[in-house]
Amino acid sequence: MGALPVRSSRLVDLNLLTVRISSNLEHFDAYAYFSRDAPAGTAPDHELVCVDLDRDPYDTEVLRALSDRTLRAKRFRSGYYLNHIFGDPAYLVTEPGRSYVFGRRLERTVWPYFVKRILTDFAVDHGYLHLKAGGFTFDDGGATLLVGPNAGGKTVFLTQACLDGARFLTNTHVLVRDGEAHAVPSAVRVRRAPQFEELIDGHGLTPHLESGDFVAAPELLFPGEPADRGLVRNIVITDFSPERPRGFERITAEQAGLFLGLFADGVVNYGLKDDLLAHHGGDLDAFTGSLAAMRDQLTALVEGARCYRANADMLDASVRGAVLAELASGGGPHTAANPVGP
């Protein structure tokens, strides 16, 4: 691509990998979604260069000719980035280990698309399973993963657990291999509530892309340092609804696997099947081999963990205490659960 104007850059630490993000803007809002920097001099696993066309105009016909011929690049050129994220037309150029994107308000592409694609590519190349999940650990290192539908209460469950003594692991993404969950450090959504007013105003938090929320590093929210990894002891499907009977109960590994296949699998959740096929250069054998490996990893994960579904009010101290006591207790995936009431 030749020399491009770079006025700011950040080398972000995603735990198992690092990504250098550069922009031609002096202040780029996308940086706020990352909570940890990699040590200076670390070689990035991937580089992302974002060029705002209002700051430095380029001939869009030239950019169109240079952009990838993939389905994702075609969608970018139409202003459709990923799922429900839209914007101005953008031009995607991909090289080995490096991506370029030209457009406007490109913070709308970094966390919503590029991070998810980079994590998925890394996962299939290194034998990990990329899941959409929050998580926390206990003092013994045992990890609990939280999955569920949008607005199902994952964030409330996670924040209340961490404020009550659990150790923050991850907010949105996790990479799993051999039963061990590896965090992907990122900021956490914070709603403007009385307990967070001082934090939001005092730290000048960046507004979230899609909502009236803000984003904050977990170190600002919870005591102690976040965990980097933990052996998965529990998987909790959260789907809080006051209208339905409350409860916290065990489910089978088969039920959990079916649910996670739709609601937690990174490729399925983020619509990355075409990107994964392109990552394999259209090689059907490699593509289906990756899918089979992910399926086997998911099966092994749920069979090795205790799986629950939760419709529990984690803001209620007595309910929260009972739920966390059950999750912290020992026992393998086939032991009986302690009853937890509403």
pTM of the entire structure?
0.91
pLDDT for 7 equals 97
Token representation of residue 111: 């966390």
Name residue, tokens 């590994």: 253
Tens-level pLDDT at each residue, the chain (342 residues): 668 999 999 999 999 999 999 999 999 999 988 999 999 999 999 999 999 999 999 999 999 999 999 999 999 999 988 767 788 999 999 999 999 999 999 999 999 899 999 999 999 999 999 999 999 999 999 999 999 998 888 988 998 999 899 999 999 999 999 999 999 999 887 666 555 555 556 556 666 555 667 777 888 888 889 999 999 999 999 999 988 999 999 999 999 999 999 999 999 999 999 999 999 999 999 999 999 999 999 999 999 999 999 999 999 999 999 999 999 997 666 655 555 554
What is residue 330's predicted lDDT score, i.e. its pLDDT?
75
Tokens of 120: 């998925």
pLDDT at 193: 59
Distances (CA, A) of 61 to 77, 106, 253: 11, 19, 52
Write the DSSP string, 99-126.
EEEEESSTHHHIIIIIIHHHHHHHHHHH
- Comparing C-alpha atoms, which of 23, 20, 21 is closest to residue 7? 23
In this structure, what is the dihedral angle of CA atoms 197, 201, 204, 205, given to the nearest 10 degrees? 10
- Cβ within 8 Å of residue 285, ≥6 positions away: none
Q: How far is CA 209 from CA 4, 104, 117, 235, 242, in A?
A: 26, 14, 18, 28, 28
Residues 193 and 191: their CA atoms lie apart, in Å, by 6
pLDDT of residue 293: 96
Look at the block and give the residue holding tokens 């066309």: 53
Task: Give the Cβ contact number of residue 279 at 10 Å.
Answer: 20
